Amino acid sequence: MILMMSVLPMPRIRRRLNHRRQLEFLVDFSQWLADGQAPDAALAGMELLAKERKDRHQYQVIKQLRSALAQGKPVAVGMQNDFSKELQVLVDIGQRAGCLPELIARHQVFNDRRRQLLKRVGQGLTYPLVLLLAAIIAVAFIGAVVLPKFQSIDTLSGLPLFSGMLQTLGIAIVQVGPLVILTIVLSIPLMVIGLPRYRKRLPHHFQNIFILTVINAYHAIYLLQGLSLFLACNISLEHSLRLFEARCSSYLREHVKAMRKSLGRGETRMPKVFATGLLNPAVLYRMEVGAATRQSKRILFAHLADRIMLDTERLVITRQRTMAYLCYSVAILLILLIIFGLGQLFTELAQQWA
């Protein structure tokens, strides 16, 4: 029995497509549909391309989708093993409403904008942080490794002022550095996942922390853009929120539940429905103005998402400049400490050896 089991080939576990490839696949699929092809014919064309490229993974995905269509099921049913729940819902809605190409195209635009926003958060701080890290490592190495060796020289009674400061700081970095790094690594998941959920319980002056503001803005953009997509397919606001509630993060789900409860109580004023703490007062005011002009909810939500993104980008740029100046200032001070510390040390040694 053991021999037979060893001879039998083990089933290969197919890895799930990453989000970028999932979206690229759906964009290609929607383009085939936009050219007037039926779903099965579009998948047949994509299958030929996958064979030419020898992309076995994509070929298996297409085969599974065509199998679902052959059984009379929607395309979204065949997507369950290889696509995110968000894209499954999107395709299901688009196929039912007959607007899948437009829906996928708009989703791609919105997704690219959100990704650009996330990139911009850390993009401007890469070089300043690298410079600061290099300066800290240099101080730690010189202060904790190099300078103690000079103290063993008999002619050197004691380290000069800046040399002593450099050594003390270097030893402190070596001793405390690992603990600081561990604390930062452990605090990142807490700030990204935990703090947004308990933001309302924090003191008022802690609720406007930069990272919390950015996370909150990202969730607001994600919600408003998604609602704009669903409303474009003639889905009601209540149904759109219900779809979001089933697939969004736990933090966003709390706000969506509150919005649905407000709609269930018969509230029709959009600023009141969305006054859950997710949108800041400025966005709610813009929503009130847009609703007063009888602007369609689809266009209104898309415009609000754009405004939040623009405001967040400005905030990110401002904070990046402040952080960059801080990193540069600390790095320059550390470099000057190294220069003065080693300069004083070598000057004193030269005088004693002269």
pLDDT in tens, the chain (354 residues): 443 434 434 344 456 678 788 888 888 888 888 888 888 898 999 989 888 888 888 888 899 888 888 888 888 888 888 888 888 888 888 877 777 888 888 888 888 888 888 787 777 778 888 999 999 999 999 998 888 887 666 455 677 888 889 999 999 999 998 888 888 777 766 665 655 555 555 555 455 677 778 888 888 999 999 899 888 888 889 988 988 887 777 888 889 999 999 999 999 899 999 999 889 899 999 999 988 888 889 999 999 999 999 999 898 888 888 989 999 999 999 999 999 999 988 888 787 776
Query: Is residue 150 located within the same domain as residue 73?
Result: no
pLDDT of 127: 86
| Cα–Cα distance, 265 to 261 (Å, whole number) | 6
Locate 200 and state its tokens: 């309302």
Domain membership of residue 1 (yes or no) is no
Residue partners of 92: CB distance under 8 A and separation at least 6: 74, 75, 76
Same domain? 211 vs 244: yes
The total domain count for the chain is: 2
Q: Are residues 236 and 341 in the same domain?
A: yes
Please tell me the distance from the alpha carbon of residue 266 to that of residue 95, in angstroms, as a whole number. Answer: 31
66-70, long-range: CB within 8 Å, 24+ apart, which pairs? Answer: 66/40, 69/39, 69/40, 69/43, 70/40
27 belongs to a structural domain: yes
Q: What is the pLDDT of residue 13?
A: 45
Domain span holding position 39: 16-83
Task: Check whether residue 68 and residue 212 sit in a common domain.
Answer: no
In a domain, 9, yes or no: no
| 8 occurs within a structural domain | no
User: What is the distance between the alpha carbons of residues 62 and 82, in angstroms, rounded to a whole number?
Assistant: 10
Can you tell me the distance from the alpha carbon of 21 to that of 25, in angstroms, rounded to the nearest whole number? 6
Domain-terminating residue out of 39, 55, 83: 83
Give the gyration radius of the chain's Cα atoms.
Answer: 29
∠ at Cα 68 (67, 74), nearest 5°? 150
pLDDT at 12: 46
Shared-domain flag, residues 33 and 146: no
Tokens encoding 258: 């509150």
Cβ atoms of 186 and 163 within 8 Å: the answer is no
CA distance 295 to 289: 9
Residue 200 lies in a domain: yes
Judgement on whether residues 97 and 65 belong to the same structural domain of the protein: no
CB 242 within 8 A of CB 226: no
Asked whether residue 180 falls in the same domain as residue 142, the answer is yes
In sequence order, which ranges of the chain are alpha helices (DSSP H)?
2-7, 19-34, 39-53, 56-70, 75-78, 85-97, 100-123, 126-141, 147-150, 161-189, 195-197, 210-232, 237-247, 250-264, 270-273, 281-292, 297-353
Q: What is the pTM of this model?
A: 0.76
pLDDT value, residue 220: 92
Q: Which residue, 61, 83, 105, sits at the end of a domain?
A: 83
Rounded CA separation 17/25 (Å): 10
Question: Amino acid identity, residue 305?
Answer: A
Same domain, 179 and 74: no
Q: Do residue 196 and residue 285 come from a single domain?
A: yes
**CA dist., res. 207 & res. 200, Å (int):** 7
pLDDT at residue 257, rounded to an integer: 92
Whether residue 74 is found in the same domain as residue 107: no
Q: Would you give the DSSP letter of residue 198?
A: T
Residue of 69, 86, 73, 83 whose CA lies nearest to 25: 83
Last residue of a domain, one of 83, 111, 134: 83
Indicate whether 2 belongs to any domain.
Answer: no
